[in-house]
Structure 1
Amino acid sequence: MRNRNEEGAAAVEFALILPVLLLILIGIIEFSLAFNAQLSLNQAAREGARYMAIHNSTGDASTAASNAAGRLAPASVTTTFSVTGGGTTCSANKQVTATTTYKLTTVTGFLDAFTGTIVMTGKGTMQCGG
């Protein structure tokens, strides 16, 4: 038999621990979505660099990179290219590096209050000429 003064103790303890548990859950969700966005950016950069190395077309390579960005909106991914030795023309014995940039929007908005806008980048490098 319980003492009368212990009734509701479990509810009070749960109410005290619930905010901590929710904070951990939100952190797990936000981190996993940010990690997925980073993987998508890296894949998009590799695809853009591969397309540029083979076809030597900056506009088409940028479109290919944006389309390869997975769950990220293609219009929100920007891609820039740089070729070793300068210029934007991919020729033999050079490497092209694609850099993709994306402004991360969080699901809960919780991180935005502390960090502001989170800009993520991905890079991919390929040998020119395929």
Structure 2
Amino acid sequence: MNRISPIGCKQRGIAALEFVVSAPLLILLVFAVTELAWAFHQYHTMTRATRDGARYMAANATVGSVGMIYLDATRVQETGNLIVYGNVTGAGAPLLPGWTQGDVAVTSPDAIHVRVSATYDYMPLVGTLPTFYGGEPLNLQFAMQSTVEMRAL
């Protein structure tokens, strides 16, 4: 005889119900972790490129043996290209989507240092999040900034 106990009948479908309740939370968690990892990747790329640009500018900013810092337009342009495109010629696609040389600033705060600043508007994967019970959707875009100051060599 193959009988189903009364307790077994009451337990049918519980696993499916638990999945229906927990699946949206798990999917939301996966999207949140993915978005956070994407933001971290973009910030890391921006800070690494800014550091490389500051190193390039610090190595090429002094003129002769007098040790004076000279920020000529060609070196500033090459530094911007290195930061945005990853090379001094400016060939290829930007390292980050939508990044331009207008987001890079090269200055000399004093007689022996160069400062390179870069900003980037974070581009989220999902765009905006809808809000519950009406209201404006949440925009996940924000500005990232990186500044590196190095002593000119």
What range is the shorter-chain TM-score in? 0.7 to 0.9
Q: Which residue among 117, 126, 143 is the counterpart of 1:99?
A: 117
Tell me: CA distance 1:4–1:110, structure 2 relative to 1, closer, same or farther (3 Å).
farther
| CA deviation profile, 1:34-74 (whole Å, cap 9, x unmatched) | 1111111111111111222223321111111112398413x
Which has the higher relative contact order, 1 or 2, with Cα contacts under 8 A spaced 6 or more apart?
1
Q: Is the 8 A contact 2:124 2:141 kept in 1?
A: no
Distance of aligned partners of 1:6 and 1:34 in 2 relative to their CA distance in 1, 3 Å threshold = same
Secondary structure of 1:120's aligned partner: strand
Aligned-pair identity (%) = 22
Show structure 1 runs of 4+ deviating over 6 A.
none
Q: Distance in 2 between matches of 1:63 and 1:111?
A: 34
- The residue correspondences of 1:1-130 to structure 2 (distance < 5 A) are 1=4, 2-56=7-61, 57-68=75-86, 71-73=95-97, 76-77=99-100, 78-85=103-110, 93-110=111-128, 113-128=137-152, 130=153
Q: What SS is found at the alignment partner of 1:33?
A: helix
Contact 1:44/1:68 (<8 A) preserved: yes
Report the AA paired with residue 99 of structure 2: S
- Structure with the larger helix share: 1
Deviation at 1:123, TM superposition (A): 1.9
Aligned mates of 1:118, 1:111 — CA distance in 2: 14
Q: What TM-score results when the alignment is normalised by the length of structure 2? A: 0.68
* Aligned residues of 1:44 and 1:100 also touching (Cα < 8 A): no
Does the Cα contact within 8 Å between 1:97 and 1:124 map onto a contact in 2? yes
Cα RMSD (Å) of the superposition? 2.4
Letter paired with 1:119: A
Q: How many residues align?
A: 121
Gaps of 5+ in 2: 62-74, 88-93, 131-136
Residue segments in structure 1 that go unaligned for 5+ positions in a row: 86-92
| C-alpha distance in structure 2 between counterparts of 1:107 and 1:47, whole Å | 27
